Structure 1
Amino acid sequence: MNEALRRAMADARLTDDQLAERCGVDIKTVGRWITQAGRVPRARHRWAACEALGEDEAVLWPEAARKAVKIGPDREIVSVYPYRSGCPASLWRSLITNATEDLTFAGYTNYFLWLEQARFGTALRRKAAQGCRIRFLVGDPDSDLTRARERDEAVPLTLSTRIRVTLAELEKIKAQPGIEARFSGGHAHLSVFRFDDDMIVTPLLTHRVGHDAPTLHLRRRQDDGLFDRFASHVAELWESGSPVWQGDAHG
């Protein structure tokens, strides 16, 4: 019996058929995961189960975790997605929910967050009220760089429109202490989203919009690793950015 899996399902109040649906497998398969302690699901099914249960792979299937242990610089890479749209919305939600100290959204528009995350503004207010620092880096909708990228993307929903949607949403929550926003052009082709010691990074490809970009989920494991390099990049952009709310203490 895989007692760790059974307990995690009980804690999450998920039945066999509910977990099976979340993982895209048959209910009998989940039954075998529980009753056969040595049975290890395929990687994508393990990851889906861990996400659904809010538990680490090393707890549910320690044997698989030991085999997958990385010791080089790539140990900070949790998962890779060929497209940002393939990164589950539930992962974003759990990262936002679990962060307690630092939420940084350094996407050029950040538009998709308001679109894909239900009651996103309310969640940000709550996190800020709990003491979490929340920062947004956005592109200037009227800049030459934005216009150049709009020509490159050539899509009906323009970059400047998407930025203005984010700015309008931020305007609604700017009175909440702990929420800040700045303009920057230095991340026009690289989006970095930080959630304490987790990070999602999307390098944008030419003629492609953000949801079409390859995406990395990173977790900090070492000094001066991938995580720290991207965090330093964002910190530098923040220091050189200009305030979104002129004359406001947030800037």
Structure 2
Amino acid sequence: MNEVLRRAMLQARMSDRQLAERCGVDIKTIGRWITEAGRVPHARHRWAVCEALGEDEAVLWPSAAKKAVKVGPDREVVSVYPYRSGCPASLWRSLITKAERELTFAGYTNYFLWLEQARLGSALKRKAAQGCRVRFLLGDPDSELTRSREQDEDVALTLSTRIRVTLSELEKIRSRPGIDARYSDGHTHLSVFRFDDDMIVTPLLTHRVGHDAPTLHLRRHQDDGMFDRFASHVEELWTRGTPVWERDSDGQA
């Protein structure tokens, strides 16, 4: 029997049926996960269980975590998704929730975040109040580059419209110290989202919108590795970026 999983469910006061609903599986599947110690759920189900119970995968299924351990230069690659839309919304929420120091959203529009993450603005205000730095790097909706990319994408919901949705949502929370936004054109074909030592990277493909982009989930394990190189790229863009909001001498928007 998987005693660790059973105890975690008891501590979370979650029944087999409730966990099954959270994970999108049959209640009998939950029973097998508990009674058959060697049974390891699919990765997406492990993520859902960990989020529901507030536990780490290495605690609930150490054999799966051990199998995933890497020692080469690719050890910072946690997961790979052919499409950003295939990256679970629960993963994004988990990374946002767990971040304590750094939340950086360097997508050209960041539009999808407001659609997929309920009450994102409230979550970001809460994080900023707790001392977490929250930054958004956006494309300029009125730039020539944005207009050129709109012609390349050729979709009804234009880039400039999606950027303005994000600007509208940020306007509601910009008064909270610790939340900032800048315009940049240096990430037009590469989106980087940082959550402390985790990162989601999406290189955009020609004639494709963001949810069609291949996606990497990275976790920092070394100096000057993939994580650090993408982080340095974003820091350079932020340094060169143009502030979205004018600020007074006291740094207030």
Scaled by the length of structure 1, what TM-score is found? 0.93
Q: Given that residues 48 and 90 in structure 2 are in contact (C-alpha distance below 8 angstroms), is that contact kept between their aligned partners in structure 1?
A: no
Q: Given that residues 137 and 184 in structure 1 are in contact (C-alpha distance below 8 angstroms), is that contact kept between their aligned partners in structure 2?
A: yes
- Equivalent residue, structure 1, for 2:25: 25
Structure 1: 5+ residue runs without aligned partners?
Answer: none
Q: Given that residues 79 and 217 in structure 2 are in contact (C-alpha distance below 8 angstroms), is that contact kept between their aligned partners in structure 1?
A: yes
Distance in 2 (alpha carbons) for counterparts of 1:46 and 1:119 = 25
**Residue 250 (structure 1) shift:** 6.0
- Equivalent residue, structure 2, for 1:34: 34
Answer with 7-16 or 99-108: which moved more: 7-16
- Equivalent residue, structure 1, for 2:111: 111
Describe the SS at the equivalent of 1:173: coil
**Residue 36 (structure 1) shift:** 2.2
- Equivalent residue, structure 2, for 1:91: 91
Q: Given that residues 190 and 201 in structure 1 are in contact (C-alpha distance below 8 angstroms), is that contact kept between their aligned partners in structure 2?
A: yes
Q: Given that residues 198 and 218 in structure 1 are in contact (C-alpha distance below 8 angstroms), is that contact kept between their aligned partners in structure 2?
A: yes
Answer with 8-17 or 156-165: which moved more: 8-17
Describe the SS at the equivalent of 1:45: helix
> Among the aligned pairs, what percent are the same residue?
81
Distance in 1 (alpha carbons) for counterparts of 2:200 and 2:188 = 16
Extract structure 1 runs of 4+ deviating beyond 4 A.
none
1:3-82 alignment, distance < 5 Å: 3-82=3-82
Scaled by the length of structure 2, what TM-score is found? 0.93
Q: 1:181 to 1:250 in 2, by over 3 A?
A: farther
Distance in 2 (alpha carbons) for counterparts of 1:228 and 1:191 = 15
Structure 2: 5+ residue runs without aligned partners?
Answer: none
- Equivalent residue, structure 2, for 1:149: 149
Q: Given that residues 179 and 250 in structure 1 are in contact (C-alpha distance below 8 angstroms), is that contact kept between their aligned partners in structure 2?
A: no
Distance in 2 (alpha carbons) for counterparts of 1:180 and 1:9 = 39
Answer with 238-247 or 101-110: which moved more: 238-247
Q: 1:234 to 1:41 in 2, by over 3 A?
A: same
- Equivalent residue, structure 2, for 1:101: 101
Describe the SS at the equivalent of 1:108: coil
Q: Given that residues 99 and 196 in structure 2 are in contact (C-alpha distance below 8 angstroms), is that contact kept between their aligned partners in structure 1?
A: yes
The one-character-per-residue Cα deviations of 1:55-108 (angstroms, maximum 9, x if unpaired) are 222211112222221111221112122111121222111211111111101000
Describe the SS at the equivalent of 1:136: strand
Number of residue pairs aligned between Structure 1 and Structure 2: 251
Q: 1:130 to 1:8 in 2, by over 3 A?
A: same
- Equivalent residue, structure 2, for 1:121: 121
Write the letter of the residue equivalent to 2:73: P
Q: Does 1:201 align with 2:201?
A: yes
Distance in 1 (alpha carbons) for counterparts of 2:12 and 2:160 = 41
Answer with 35-44 or 64-73: which moved more: 35-44
1:124-135 alignment, distance < 5 Å: 124-135=124-135
Distance in 1 (alpha carbons) for counterparts of 2:179 and 2:209 = 26
- Equivalent residue, structure 2, for 1:215: 215
